[in-house]
Structure 1
Amino acid sequence: MVVAEAKKARTFAKVQRPRLYEQLMQQILAFVEEEQLGPGDHLPAERELAEQLGVSRATLAQALVALEVLGVIDVQHGTGAVLVHRPSVATVLRELREHKNRLPEIVEARSTLEVKLAALAAERRTDADLRKIDQALEVMDSEISDGGRGARGDELFHEAITAAANSSVLEKLMAFIAEMVLETRLESLGQPGRPERSLESHRKIADAIRRQDAQGAAKAMGEHIDMVSDVALLKEGR
């Protein structure tokens, strides 16, 4: 009787259907293994990969961004995807799930730190700080105009905001989470149309800092973090 009751009480966890980008990652890694590709070797061009896999380039981009975030490939404008190292499929899927689980905490940390940094930057910025912020915007604009994602300009912009805030403690905290922020940066800028929207968001933050509007800078940064944190890996859709 006890055994029977125990069996009745047992429940099963729902089986999670792999998302499409996870399936694509597995197929790309299987291709790497079959072709015996090594570090420095190029994957086929995105258009060719998308056609062979029977998916849109936007869907394929999600899988490539995930592989880039995990350090499996390096994607550069004009050169395509280059293999950095060849891990097992099981290892990549485990790391992907661990990464997905910590994304909300990374977003939380950015929202807490960078909103405050933007407000302080508006209060404390110097002319030299404004020049660095403008230079970062120019770099990002140039990268996007050339067909890139603007990742370097994005990084320079947030570094310039941090420097303008003139807070050594907050600067150290940002340095501590820099590698994790890079994960969200790559994912965000890999979303279709996101580089352009991110650049426009940066300009709103810069304008508020230029006016020394601390409240406006904080609001603009908060909205920016919300926007860039909207990434495919946190959505249930396929």
Structure 2
Amino acid sequence: MEESSKKLGVQSVHRSTLSKQVVEQIVQLLVSGQMKAGDKLPPEMELMEELGVSRPVLREALSALETLGVITRKTREGTFFNNKVGTHPFSVMLALATDNLPAIIEARMALELGLVTMAAEKITDEQLEKLRKTIDAIANSEDNDYGEADKEFHHIIALSANNPIVEGMIDSLLITHNKVNSLIQVRERERTVEYHKAIYAALEARDPQDAFLQMYKHLDFVRQKVLQYSSANDE
């Protein structure tokens, strides 16, 4: 990397949502090609000066980037972009869109609809058995407390797509699932079981088109319910 005295192509940020803007500016260094995976970021004092923010704001942004797997901070060595930062693009975008619920739900739909069609062609009998067990767990849950079994159902489908290039999307899928799940106020166990059984049947039949259709019906139902709750809370 060129010597740190050279000015970076970042802009000073405004005083609202400071840490989020700092995250955007640092990510932009990668997007623009000014820096690349593995490069060392400038010292904190230099970043603070160029971005026009305080140390707490900068450190909050760096902590967020580290949690997302974009950077690694090493004691006495400095802060580095991770070599495999390319596997986390969806996590970064989700972090930047935390207040945009419709976008988060659509991101989940885009990921899962693609993954379930691949899963229909690749899912193993063992994975189908694991799916069936999650459906049983939901059906037998007490007090409609089946959030973990629900998440595991979708996680198994994502893994069964068995594509190393999209592995980075799976963590993002779970992030969107957790976000949407946290907003569901009234759970409908029987409807959930019904949707999951239909998806399971399509996967068992190795039918990508039906798997896509059944997953869409499920996620669209969730979308409408969550957005309805969100609108009611905003009123």
Distance 2:198 2:176 in 1: 24
1:235 aligns to what SS in structure 2?
helix
Residue 159 of structure 1 is matched in structure 2 by: 155
Unaligned runs of 5+ in 2: 1-96
Percent pairwise identity: 27
Aligned pair partner of 1:194 in 162, 177, 188: 188
2:140 aligns to what SS in structure 1?
helix
- The Cα offsets for residues 96-152 of structure 1, whole Å up to 9 and x where unpaired, read as xx85x3211111111111011111111111111111111111222222xx2233101
- The Cα offsets for residues 160-185 of structure 1, whole Å up to 9 and x where unpaired, read as 11111112232321203423320202
Aligned pair partner of 2:177 in 148, 156, 181: 181
Aligned pair partner of 1:221 in 200, 203, 215: 215
Give the 3 Å change call, closer, same or farther, for CA 174–102 of structure 1 in structure 2.
farther
**Contact 2:159 2:170 (8 Å CA) reproduced:** no
- The Cα offsets for residues 187-230 of structure 1, whole Å up to 9 and x where unpaired, read as 23x32x52321221111101100011100000111111111122
Distance 2:123 2:192 in 1: 22
User: Counterpart amino acid of 2:195?
Assistant: S
Distance apart, 1:236 and its partner CA: 4.4
Residue 138 of structure 1 is matched in structure 2 by: 136
* Ranges of 4+ aligned residues in structure 1 off by more than 4 Å: none
- The Cα offsets for residues 6-58 of structure 1, whole Å up to 9 and x where unpaired, read as xxxxxxxxxxxxxxxxxxxxxxxxxxxxxxxxxxxxxxxxxxxxxxxxxxxxx
Give the 3 Å change call, closer, same or farther, for CA 140–169 of structure 1 in structure 2.
farther
Q: How does 1:64-83 map to 2 (within 5 A)?
A: none
**Contact 2:108 2:176 (8 Å CA) reproduced:** no
Q: How does 1:34-49 map to 2 (within 5 A)?
A: none
User: Counterpart amino acid of 1:153?
Assistant: A
Distance 1:219 1:164 in 2: 18
Give aligned pairs, total.
Answer: 136
TM-score, length-scaled by structure 1? 0.52
Q: How does 1:54-93 map to 2 (within 5 A)?
A: none
Distance 2:133 2:166 in 1: 22
Distance 1:234 1:148 in 2: 21
**Contact 2:151 2:177 (8 Å CA) reproduced:** no
Greater RCO structure (CA 8 Å; 6+ sep): 1
RMSD (CA atoms): 2.0
Give the 3 Å change call, closer, same or farther, for CA 199–236 of structure 1 in structure 2.
same
1:204 matched to 2:198: yes
Give the 3 Å change call, closer, same or farther, for CA 135–171 of structure 1 in structure 2.
farther
Residue 125 of structure 1 is matched in structure 2 by: 123
1:155 aligns to what SS in structure 2?
helix
Distance 1:110 1:151 in 2: 16
Distance 2:165 2:103 in 1: 20
TM-score, length-scaled by structure 2? 0.53
Give the 3 Å change call, closer, same or farther, for CA 133–177 of structure 1 in structure 2.
closer
2:144 aligns to what SS in structure 1?
coil
User: Counterpart amino acid of 1:161?
Assistant: I
Give the 3 Å change call, closer, same or farther, for CA 171–135 of structure 1 in structure 2.
farther
Distance 1:137 1:177 in 2: 19
